[in-house]
Amino acid sequence: MPELPEVETIRRTLTSVLIGQEIQGVEVLLEKAVKPSSEQLIRALVGRKIVELRRRGKYLLLLLDDDSRVAFHLRMTGRLLFLPKLTPLEKHTTLVLNFTDDHSLRFVDPRKFGTVVLYWPSTPPESLKKLGPEPLETEKAVVVSSLTTAAARRKGPVKGLLLDQRVIAGLGNIYTDETLFLAGIRPTRSVREITAAEWEKIYQSILTVLELAIEHRGTSRRDYVDGRGEPGNHQCYLQVYDRKKKPCLVCGSEIQYTRVAGRGTYYCPACQH
């Protein structure tokens, strides 16, 4: 699933080619993916110009010249690609935005879980309203407070809390495992056991892990590519994720695999406590 670094990389690669584009036509190829409806989306978008691209958590937002917005959530396998109009459509294309300059933006989604939501700033979808703070763009005190406040109100493993988009926006399975490895904390640890100093360490680790992943243009393991169809290379730098039974790059211990909060989870039994 594309997480914060992947969506941010897509945003950066698409910004220069999408800003100022006028939408000439809209093709909805998977009705269930579009909200409120394909008819409303087509009526609202045709003739509009894109004025800005933003990211909120794992969502990519297109801002249009009438102040309406389109939120793309890529879910498990979604890709957003800027291509010439004459490029043949891929089999699992969900949506096409055709522009007046003979290019198009394609939303390709083999698993068909991704969504496209039209909204206005005064009435954002609940999924956006409920997102927690952005780790890279919000003051440290606010992010740490969100983490510790949530921890005081719940039980369960620390990994489950970090995966909760209402607590902090943008982390998924890969970067949660990488964050906890860097912080030296086992993903199975109860949130009630994490000390104030450890929450600070988790916060700093989140920043380090996300910034490095963005620098490497995201992690490409299966479906993810950027807006120009190019893979990222952060998979070459992962410390624990998807390294079951391989030696820890720090201490040499065998990386362990388990399931935490319903997700496959990797950790080092020696480096993480």
Rounded CA-CA distance 115/72 in Å is 6
DSSP calls for 77-92: T-EEEEEETTSPPPTT
- Over the chain (273 residues), the average pLDDT of each successive run of 10 is 96 98 98 97 98 98 98 96 96 97 97 97 96 97 98 96 98 98 98 97 98 97 92 97 98 98 97 98
pLDDT of amino acid 223? 85
Q: For tokens 């360490």, name the residue.
A: 201
Domain boundaries, the chain: 4-129, 140-267
Rounded CA-CA distance 253/224 in Å is 30
Active-site residues: which are they?
2-3, 58, 263
Its pTM stands at 0.96
Bond from prior residue into 36 cis (ω within 30 degrees of 0): yes
Q: Which of helix, strand or coil describes residue 269?
A: coil
Q: Which of helix, strand or coil describes residue 228?
A: coil
C-alpha to C-alpha distances, 183 to 168, 205, 206, 242, nearest whole angstrom: 17, 6, 9, 18
C-alpha to C-alpha distances, 224 to 16, 57, 136, 138, nearest whole angstrom: 20, 17, 21, 26
pLDDT of amino acid 222? 81
Span 4-129: which CATH code? 3.20.190.10
pLDDT of amino acid 1? 77
Span 140-267: which CATH code? 1.10.8.50
Q: How large is the angle between the packed helices 173-183 and 196-215, nearest 10 degrees? A: 130
Amino acid at residue number 83:
L
Q: What is the phi-psi region of residue 47: left when phi exceeds 0, alpha when psi lies from -120 to 50, beta otherwise?
A: left
pLDDT of amino acid 263? 96
